[in-house]
Amino acid sequence: MKRVSIKDVALKAGVSTALVSYVLNGRHTDRISKLTAEKIKNAAKELNYRPNSIARSLKAKKTHTIALLVADIANPFASQIARIIEDEISNKGYVILIGSSDENAEKLQQLIDIFLTRQVDGFIILPVEGSEKYILDLAKTNAPIVLIDRYFTNNMEIPVITTNNYGASYQATEHLIKKGKKNIGILSFQTELIHINERVNGYKRAVLDRGLTIKSENIKYINEAKIDIEVSHAIDELLSKEEPIDALFFATNKLALAGLKKLMTLTIRIPEELALITFDESEAFDIFKVPVSHIKQPLYEISKEAVEIITGMIEDKNLKFKPRVYNSKLIIKQSS
């Protein structure tokens, strides 16, 4: 079947192809009568005309597509971010292409290469450990880039939108101490990612500021590749010490899920014997016997800001943006 062209629409409407182009692309509509515009739209509808997006992209030097690269689409944090950005970007007239790097730097590089060949207009990225070089190389192509949640010390020329990980962890730990907990454990990932380590630093500072002692044996670093086994082992160690912990802070919701699975096999009373709190939230927390206190990040604000910045950079590549840091909210539930 022959593809309907703009010329076919012009012939049916009895107008020039230039007028059809103006009306269907929303340009100079104030100079065209409503009757003529309506005639053109009706002709396009009757002929089932579909614009040639490839030709339009070549002419405009834009594809109106943006790549969103997340670390793990299965993580509720990433999936919620993706959902919000998809809606917000659509309102701006763009389409989102989503890729998940599965916390693998090499896979992130492959995704970047794929989307570069698709000639996307910009990138919104949740980086993974070890991907700094790849992102800096991408920046050298002059592609607009915005980083969400995670960042590196050496690429602050790239706009970053994150939360106050240090402050939120400080607040969560302080809350546990105010509840009378004096021997607080924390589970974190073994990583070089700054935002995760800032959560541990916030915990440490709160312990010191409240006159308690930082105990290295209360800080457990987990290998993400062995998360279930190592979290189970770490909790066993923390609870079997001569002075067992009386509270436990999970640095991520992924660690919390593994920890809650372990705790469901034990007879320990929550929060009487062990108070719990976690960074981020998850609908899966609903399966636990006690509602879990958590740090709620402002996902809508982060996502909307990312869309505003990336579309602004696409329109004007000389625009400069400072890093944006949002505060999170501590949601107190029965577990603490």
pLDDT tens digits, 171-208? 999 999 999 999 999 999 999 899 999 999 999 999 99
DSSP one-letter code for 305: H
Per-residue pLDDT at 58: 46
What pTM was computed for the model? 0.80
Q: Sign of the C-alpha dihedral, residues 119, 74, 326, 88?
A: positive
Closest alpha carbon to 302 in 85, 56, 135: 85
Per-residue pLDDT at 198: 96
Cα–Cα distance between 145 and 125 in angstroms, integer? 7
Residue-by-residue pLDDT tens, the chain, 336 positions: 567 788 888 888 888 888 887 777 666 566 778 888 888 888 888 888 876 654 555 455 677 899 999 988 888 888 899 999 999 998 888 889 999 999 999 999 999 999 988 889 999 999 999 999 899 889 888 899 999 998 887 556 789 999 999 999 999 999 999 999 999 999 999 998 999 999 999 999 999 999 999 999 999 999 999 999 999 999 999 999 999 999 999 999 999 999 999 999 999 999 999 999 999 988 777 778 899 999 999 999 999 999 999 999 988 877 778 789 999 999 999 999
Question: Which residue has tokens 């050298």?
Answer: 140
Structure tokens of 73?
């689409």
Cα–Cα distance between 213 and 174 in angstroms, integer? 14
Contacts of 193 (CB under 8 A, 6+ apart): 129, 150
Contacts of 26 (CB under 8 A, 6+ apart): none
Query: How many residues does the structure list for the chain?
Result: 336
* Residue extents of the structural domains in the chain: 6-51, 62-163+299-326, 165-296
Edge-to-edge order in the sheet of strand 329-331: 219-222, 184-189, 247-250, 275-279, 293-296, 329-331
Cα–Cα distance between 120 and 117 in angstroms, integer? 8
Question: Which residue has tokens 């950079």?
Answer: 313
SS3 call for 96: strand
Per-residue pLDDT at 1: 55
Per-residue pLDDT at 221: 97
Structure tokens of 287?
């399966």
User: Residue 123 forms beta bridges with which residues?
Assistant: 67, 145
165-296 placed in CATH 3.30.70.2740: no
CATH fold, domain 62-163+299-326, is: Rossmann fold (3.40.50)
Instruction: Work out whether strand 219-222 and strand 145-148 pair parallel, antiparallel, or are unpaired.
Output: unpaired
DSSP one-letter code for 284: G
Cα–Cα distance between 45 and 47 in angstroms, integer? 5
**Can you list the positions of beta strands (E) in 94-163?**
95-100, 122-125, 145-148, 160-163
Please answer whether residues 159 and 138 qualify as being in contact, where contact means their C-beta atoms are separated by less than 8 angstroms: no
Closest alpha carbon to 279 in 257, 304, 306: 257
- List the CATH code of the domain at 6-51: 1.10.260
Cα–Cα distance between 104 and 122 in angstroms, integer? 21
Q: Quick check: bond before 159 cis, omega within 30?
A: no
Helices and strands, counts by H and E, the chain: 12, 12
Instruction: Answer whether 6-51 and 62-163+299-326 agree in fold.
Output: no
Per-residue pLDDT at 183: 96
Per-residue pLDDT at 54: 47
Structure tokens of 19?
């007028």
Helix 165-178 / helix 194-209 crossing angle, nearest 10 deg:
30
Cα–Cα distance between 227 and 252 in angstroms, integer? 12
